[in-house]
Amino acid sequence: MLIGETRTGKSIMTQNHVKKFGVGKIINADGSTVQALLGGKVETVNGDRIRYGSLARENGGIAILEEVKDIGPELFPKLRSPRSSQVLKIDRVAGSLETTLFVRPIFIANPRVGDKKLIDMKMNFNNGYEIVNSVVPAQEDITRFDVMFVVDHPKNLSRPTPDPFTYNYADLIPDYYFADSLKAI
């Protein structure tokens, strides 16, 4: 998970990751629903159908979800069972679907204070846990993440950092980290 203020290079880092390694698909979750990500009922002229969502279609790969905070806190509880069992089961009146869900999601979010957009992380949060908790409210969902990065503006950091719009942040990720993912290519 990447959490940070607007314009800190989160999206650029993930775009460079996809470009460099050729692995992953960026999914803009802004305005999406949980059903659009996991799957659900779709009305068609031939009747109701059940379709897989964006995450299920990325089975075996990496899904990078931008603007996750806009979906709402109901996303993470709905992902508990599929992420633990690696099985996505969708039951609806129109029928049911079941598939494996082995996907590595990378969530990108801006922390918020209530319904307001964040102006300065340091003014609103005392520590990194509070920042993460503003996006993922339940402890049991926080523990399901492999790694989390809290990103801040370079002007707020104690040491100089490269310009986020010209630096290739994907170079910071060691190649061996994605060795298993790259075997499929």
Q: For 117-165, what is each residue's pLDDT tens digit? A: 555 566 667 777 788 888 888 888 888 888 888 877 666 555 454 454 5
Task: HSE, CB side, 13 Å, CA atoms: give it for residue 54.
Answer: 19
How many Å apart are CA 5 and CA 111, to the nearest integer? Answer: 7
pLDDT of the residue at 181: 43
pLDDT of the residue at 184: 42
- Domain residue spans of the chain: 2-33+61-86+104-182
Higher pLDDT, 83 or 126: 83
pLDDT tens digits along 19-45: 888 888 999 888 788 888 888 777 888
Percent of the chain, pLDDT > 90? 1
pLDDT tens digits along 171-185: 544 444 444 444 443
Domain 2-33+61-86+104-182, CATH number (from 3.20.14, 3.40.1520, 1.20.1530, 3.40.50):
3.40.50
- How do beta strands 25-28 and 62-66 pair? parallel
Name the nearest CA neighbour of 37 among 54, 52, 25.
54
